[in-house]
Amino acid sequence: MEIFELLAKGGLAMIPIVLASLISVMIALERFSYYRGQAAKSADFSGEVNAALAAENYDRVSEICRTAGGAAGEVLLAALAERAHTNVRQEEVVQASAKKKALELRRYLEYLSVIVTMAPLLGLLGTVIGMIGSFSVLSVAEGEPFAITGGVGEALVATASGLLVAILALSLHAYLSHRANGIIADVEYTATMYLAHVGGERREA
């Protein structure tokens, strides 16, 4: 009950601040679950793919990608599906697939970035509104300084809450961006290995 009373003291600005915190947590839970599914399930996925590519065993490459590939495996499977088409450039297929996957991995992270900036501003707005209400006490409570300082203290609740939400969103954004960048790096490395092998094949042909 004390928490709800404290939130109520922050004024109407607390409503969007609380909503921003809930959105941040929901995005974090959704992205964490998504990244777990997109990460390679094999500790040596790149090594296994590289060995299969060196042996020109594309059936084995497809099997590895389907069972343990994650995001990198999806990109390679898209390239392998178009490999039989001689009029399709593998580089373009891999690049397009990798760009699409990178966008999917970074989805919703921009919302966290917006909340990092917006939450302190909402808190400041709530404080300004509360200060205006506090100073209006002068007209009805002249000579009662505690009525004014008490109102100022309540108004600062909005600023403190906005800063806490911004810190939360910033921490989540940093962690999720690190996870996304790690998976994207795996995608780029695996795609580069595949293109290098395909390029070597063409030179030999």
Report yes or no: 94 and 190 within 8 Å, Cβ to Cβ: no
Mean pLDDT, the chain, rounded, equals 82
pLDDT above 50 for 205 = no
- Can you tell me the mean pLDDT for 153-182? 90
Report yes or no: 62 and 77 within 8 Å, Cβ to Cβ: yes
Q: What pLDDT score was predicted for residue 181?
A: 94
Q: What pLDDT score was predicted for residue 147?
A: 52
When pLDDT is cut at 50, 70 and 90, the band that residue 7 belongs to is low
- Can you tell me the mean pLDDT for 11-28? 91
The whole-angstrom separation of Cα 123 and Cα 160 is: 7
pTM of the model: 0.81
Q: pLDDT digit string (tens) for 54-87?
A: 888 888 888 888 888 788 888 888 888 877 666 5
- Can you tell me the mean pLDDT for 42-49? 82
Q: Where are the alpha helices (DSSP H) in the chain?
A: 2-9, 14-38, 45-54, 58-68, 70-81, 90-105, 109-135, 145-204
Report yes or no: 177 and 32 within 8 Å, Cβ to Cβ: no
